[in-house]
């Protein structure tokens, strides 16, 4: 999948260069280059969907992850800015032990990096058996530990599980936010087939 993605990007860059050179009504500005790239990326993505359905779905899931990250990033920044500006402190700091559904090192690294980029949340550690991660937060979402755990599991982790399942060949997964041992059983079962 990764190689296909790199080829897709390179072909899209070349096609956008060709569009800028050969088509006269496309302006040779940064905006024109961006539009040419997005157009060529979308066209090749549509063509690839005929041959690689899983890649098509994977790109959609990556877009959902990006959308969710941007939403959480803006929400966290606005909340932290409001906290700084107002004289009253509404912080509810805590270190929470959250069950981890992801198991590969790459998936855990991505979850850690994405979570650490949002202000107010910092993953401070992962258990040795990779079943739990420890999150320091300055805002305990929902006001209780169970609701914060659900928030963490239904957020980035759920979206990363869907991406991992697609990249490993599982079409769809359902996450319950309770550790999801069933998901890993489905992934392992499809690996053996």
DSSP per-residue letters across 9-75? HHHHHHHHHHHHHH-TTS-SSHHHHHHHHHHHHHHHHHHHHHH-HHHHHHHHHHHHHHHHHHHHHHH
Rounded to an integer, what distance in angstroms lies between the CA atom of residue 1 and that of residue 12?
Answer: 16
110-143: burial string, b at 16+ Cβ within 10 Å, e else: bbbebbeebbbbebeebeeeeebbebebbbbbee
Rounded to an integer, what distance in angstroms lies between the CA atom of residue 74 and that of residue 119?
Answer: 9
Q: Enter the pTM of the model.
A: 0.71
**Residue 64's pLDDT is what?**
92
**Residue 189's pLDDT is what?**
56
pLDDT at 183 over 60: no
Percent of the chain with pLDDT over 90: 24
**Residue 192's pLDDT is what?**
53
The residue extents of the domains of the chain are 1-51, 56-192
More confidently predicted of 114 and 185: 114
Mean pLDDT rounded to a whole number for the chain: 82
Average pLDDT score over residue span 1-12: 79
Q: Which two tokens stand for residue 156?
A: 């980035």
Average pLDDT score over residue span 69-93: 89
**Residue 78's pLDDT is what?**
92
**Residue 182's pLDDT is what?**
52
pLDDT at 19 over 90: no
């Amino acid at each position: 999948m990764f190689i296909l993605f790199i080829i897709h990007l390179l072909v899209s860059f070349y096609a956008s260069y060709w569009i800028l050179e050969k088509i006269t009504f496309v302006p040779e500005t940064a905006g024109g280059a961006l539009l040419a790239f997005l157009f060529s990326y979308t066209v090749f993505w549509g063509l690839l969907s005929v041959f690689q359905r899983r890649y098509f779905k994977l790109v959609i899931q990556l877009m959902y992850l990006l959308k969710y990250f941007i939403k959480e990033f803006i929400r966290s920044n606005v909340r932290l800015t409001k906290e700084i500006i107002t004289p009253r402190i509404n912080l509810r700091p805590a270190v929470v032990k959250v069950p981890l559904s992801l198991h590969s090192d790459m998936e855990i690294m991505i979850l850690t990096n994405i979570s650490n980029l949002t202000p107010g949340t910092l993953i401070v550690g992962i258990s040795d058996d990779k079943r739990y991660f420890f999150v320091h937060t300055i805002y305990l979402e929902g006001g209780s530990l169970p609701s914060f755990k659900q928030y963490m599991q239904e957020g980035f982790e759920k979206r990363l599980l869907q991406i991992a399942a697609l990249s490993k060949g599982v079409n769809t997964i359902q996450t319950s936010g309770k550790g999801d041992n069933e998901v890993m059983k489905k992934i392992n079962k499809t690996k053996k087939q």
